[in-house]
Structure 1
Amino acid sequence: MSSTITIRVSDEEKEFIKKMATFYGLSVSELSRKQLLEALEDQIDLNVYKEALQAHKAKDESISLQEMKRVLE
């Protein structure tokens, strides 16, 4: 089953989207769906990264290369 989502764009934006779809060999619908989903997935990835970085900074157990060499000797 598929659903329809409608977005409003200016005439200039519409022409740009149509040209980009043609450039990529996709329909406007395929291009829009692909780009929207990729952008949303990128945002999720960025949010996960930021949370992981905060968790790492809160409990940083990193050691320097010199410390690592001492441990391994």
Structure 2
Amino acid sequence: MNIITFRVTDEEKTVIQALADLNGLSLSEFAKTKLLERLENQVDMALYEQAIKSHELNDESISYQELFRELGL
């Protein structure tokens, strides 16, 4: 297992430790979890933006009325 170190002020450490305690996690586990969640959110947003651009280039949307007609409703 690898170790990553970063510097924080005393105040930042106090806040991070309090949040870790509130969540029942060690400081290390809390920091790792929050970092990975944030990175996952960034990946999700990048994939969403890519999908939107792709959709805009090849928009195959239809209206509700067209859908109902196609389904015979």
- Give 1:71 shift: 2.3
Unaligned runs of 5+ in 1: none
TM-score when normalising by structure 1: 0.92
**More displaced stretch, 61-70 vs 25-34:** 61-70
Would you say how many aligned residue pairs link Structure 1 and Structure 2? 72
SS at match of 1:13: helix
Identify which range, 63-72 or 29-38, moves more after superposition: 63-72
Alpha-carbon separation, structure 2, partners of 1:70 and 1:24: 52
Identity, % of aligned positions: 47
TM-score under structure 2 normalisation?
0.92
Q: CA deviation at 1:70?
A: 2.2
Q: Which runs of 4+ in 1 moved over 4 A?
A: none
SS of residue in 2 equivalent to 1:61: coil
- Return the letter of the residue paired with 2:38: A
Structure 2 spans left out of the alignment, 5+ residues: none
Per-residue CA shift, 1:11-59, capped at 9, x if unaligned? 1111000111111111100000000011101110110011001100110
CA RMSD of aligned residues (A): 0.9
How far apart, in 1, do the equivalents of 2:66 and 2:9 lie?
59
